[in-house]
Structure 1
Amino acid sequence: MELFVGSEHSDMYHKFRPTYPPEMYEFISEYSKSGTGTLDTAVDVGCGTGISTIPLCKYFQKVTGVDVSETQIKTARMVHKQSNVSFFISRAEQMEFLSDCSVDLVTVAQTMHWLEMEPFYKEVIRILKPRGSIVIYGYGNGTLNKSEGNLVIEKFFNHDLEEFWDSRSRHADNFYQNMYLPFSGWERKSDFFIQNKWSANEVVGYLSTWSSCRKYLKKNPKSGRLDEIQQQLIDIYNGQKITITWPMVVFVGRKNTQAEENINNVF
Structure 2
Amino acid sequence: MQPCFTKFRSPKALIRQIFLSAITLSRKMELFVGSEHSDLYQKYRPTYPPELYAFIANFCKTGRGSLDTAVDVGCGTGLSTLPLCKYFNKVIGVDVSETQINTARTTHRQSNLMFHTSNGEQLQFLSDCSVDLVTVAQAMHWIEPEPFYREVTRILRPSGSLVVYGYGINTIDSNEGNKIIDKFYSHDLEGFWDSRRRHIDNLYQEISLPFSGSERISDFVIQNRWSVSDVVGYLSTWSAWQRYLKQHPDSNLLVEIQRHLENIYQDQKITITWPVFVLLGRKESEKKP
TM-score by length of 2: 0.88
Deviations 1:38-62 (A, max 9, x none): 2100000000000000000000000
**Alignment gaps of 5+ in structure 2:** 1-27
Aligned to 2:23: none
Query: Which secondary structure does the structure 1 equivalent of 2:195 belong to?
Result: coil
Which structure would you say has the larger Rg? 2
Aligned residues: 258
How far is the alpha carbon of 1:238 from its aligned partner? Answer: 1.1
- Could you tell me which amino acid in structure 1 is paired with residue 69 of structure 2? T
1:28 paired residue number:
56
1:67 aligns with 2:95: yes
Of the candidates 267, 270, 279, which is equivalent to residue 239 of structure 1? 267
1:228 to 2:256 alignment: yes
Answer yes or no: is the 8 Å Cα contact 2:134–2:163 preserved in 1: yes
Q: Is the partner of 2:91 in helix, strand or coil?
A: strand
Bigger shift: 27-36 or 117-126?
Answer: 27-36
Partner of 1:206: 234
Per-residue CA deviation, residues 132-176 of structure 1 (Å, 9 max, x unaligned), is: 000000000001001011001001011110110110111111111
User: C-alpha root-mean-square deviation of aligned residues, in Å?
Assistant: 1.0
2:276 match: 248
Where in structure 2 are the equivalents of 1:109-124 lying within 5 Å? Answer: 109-124=137-152
Name segments (4+ residues, structure 1) moved above 3 Å.
none
Aligned partner of 1:56 in structure 2 is 84
Contact kept, 8 Å, 1:137 with 1:249, in 2: the verdict is: yes
Query: Deviation of residue 35 (structure 1)?
Result: 2.2
- Report the 3-state secondary structure (helix = DSSP H, G, I; strand = E; otherwise coil) of the residue aligned with 2:129: coil
Residue 167 of structure 1 is matched in structure 2 by 195
- Whole-Å Cα distance in 2 between the matches of residues 81 and 108 of structure 1? 21
Could you tell me which residue of structure 1 aligns to residue 246 of structure 2? 218
Cα distance in structure 2, aligned partners of 1:8 and 1:252: 33
Percent sequence identity over matched residues? 67
Aligned residue in 2 for 1:8? 36
Shift of 1:37: 3.5
Contact 1:68 1:89 in 2 (8 A): yes
The residue that corresponds to 1:128 in the other structure is: 156
Q: CA deviation at 1:6?
A: 1.1
2:163 counterpart letter in structure 1: V
Using the alignment, how far apart are the partners of 1:9 and 1:61 within structure 2?
Answer: 31
- Tell me, yes or no, if the aligned pair for 2:65 and 2:160 is still in contact at 8 Å: no
Determine if the alignment matches structure 1 residue 105 to structure 2 residue 133.
yes
Match of 2:112 in 1: 84
TM-score computed with the length of structure 1 as normaliser: 0.95
